[in-house]
Chains A and B, each alone.
Chain A
Amino acid sequence: GQQLNQSPQSMFIQEGEDVSMNCTSSSIFNTWLWYKQDPGEGPVLLIALYKAGELTSNGRLTAQFGITRKDSFLNISASIPSDVGIYFCAGQRSGNQFYFGTGTSLTVIP
């Protein structure tokens, strides 16, 4: 299957710190998506990216579509306790199949 390498696997940060995570692939993608999943719930879409180099923000979240189209980055500024969860990247190539990374678990220490 399609492999998306997401890093780091887990992060423990102090409240107020900024967070960076990334997703890389050996294949080119046309769309990159970032999701957040809370315990016991389904993933929720945070940001969608459609163009190489695109930088998109959603509140304190900023994501970028890598120039090579093989990677994407998510930054969270000034983290707060409700940012806790698992963050997933997803990529879409041609067709309508979406491939997911293995997730970054974020813990925010008050």
Chain B
Amino acid sequence: DAGITQSPRHKVTETGTPVTLRCHQTENHRYMYWYRQDPGHGLRLIHYSYGVKDTDKGEVSDGYSVSRSKTEDFLLTLESATSSQTSVYFCAIGGSTWGNTIYFGEGSWLTVV
């Protein structure tokens, strides 16, 4: 296991409410990623981080924000959840400083009703 913990693993929330997903790593790795997985779309990058307080947008970043105040934690926030954000969210760590590979957490299932 790559030492990645996601929380919560499952959440149901109402439209318009804020939601924060947490990714915690024990590998002291520089790069961390948030992906969402939807049927027919595979895994799409939301945001990634290349260090404390250093983040950048991925291909589906609208409606999401991230923060990384410590190396081990990468938070994904939905400021005002919408039904289109119902998805499975995966955190990953890795990148060019780890053999150009990335390793995934177990996922967070989010349902927005």
- Enumerate chain A interface residues (CB-CB to B < 8 A): 1-2, 4, 6, 30-31, 33, 35, 40-45, 48, 50, 88, 90, 92, 96-103
Give the distance to chain A from B88, nearest Cβ to Cβ, in Å: 9
Give the distance to chain A from B17, nearest Cβ to Cβ, in Å: 25
- Cβ of B107 and Cβ of A97 under 8 Å apart? no
- A-B CB proximity, top 9 nearest: A1-B59, A42-B104, A96-B95, A100-B43, A102-B42, A31-B100, A100-B42, A42-B106, A43-B104
- Cβ of A96 and Cβ of B106 under 8 Å apart? no
Give the distance to chain A from B77, nearest Cβ to Cβ, in Å: 21
Report if A98-B107 is in contact (Cβ < 8 Å); known contacts: A30-B100, A48-B99, A48-B100.
Answer: no
Q: Number of B residues whose C-beta is below 8 Å from A?
A: 27
From A40, A48, A88, A96, contact of B96 by CB (8 A): A96
Kindly list chain B residues whose C-beta atoms are within 8 Å of the C-beta of A45.
101-103
Kindly list chain A residues whose C-beta atoms are within 8 Å of the C-beta of B60.
1
- Cβ of B45 and Cβ of A98 under 8 Å apart? yes
